[in-house]
Amino acid sequence: MKRVTNKELISIILINIGILAWAVYGWLLYNRRQTIINSEEPIQNYSVLEVHCRRRSSSSIVIEFNGKQYYVAVDRDKCIQFDPQKIKFFYDKERDEVYEESGLVVRNLVVAFIIYLCSCIWLSIVR
């Protein structure tokens, strides 16, 4: 088995720290959005400017709210059968962003933490 140099080990540790930071950031964002969804009412006074439904990449809707345009990511299924009465948008005052209630799903966070655990295993193997 090949011996790992200190430079390679440090780069693996930095990658591991980056993946953990990415996963924690995703969790904090998800938690914040869930708090807003549970504590506030969906926005009502918006107008839909454009609807972009795509097959492979993410779909989005451009809305105007409070005199400003926002690109909001939505599920492809909701985009194809677009009905403004069924989609709930929420506004985050601190970050000045609008998002749809299913904009950040838990499965993305699970994938991030699985990647982090795999990087931890990779780190322990190369040591």
3-state secondary structure of 95: coil
At 73, the amino acid letter reads: A
pTM score > 0.85 for this model?
A: no
Asked if residue 105 has pLDDT above 90, the reply is no
Lowest mean pLDDT among 22-26, 49-53, 82-86: 82-86
One DSSP character per residue, 5-67 reads PHHHHHHHHHHHHHHHHHHHHHHHHHHHHHHHHHHSPPP-SEEEEEEE--SSS-EEEEEEETT
Among 28-32, 45-49, 120-124, whose mean pLDDT is lowest? 120-124
Buried/exposed 101-117: b ≥16 CB within 10 Å, e otherwise:
bebbeeeebeebeeebe
Q: What is the pLDDT of residue 103?
A: 66
CB-based contacts of 99, cutoff 8 Å, min separation 6: 33, 72, 73, 89, 90, 92
Residue 13 above 90 pLDDT?
A: no
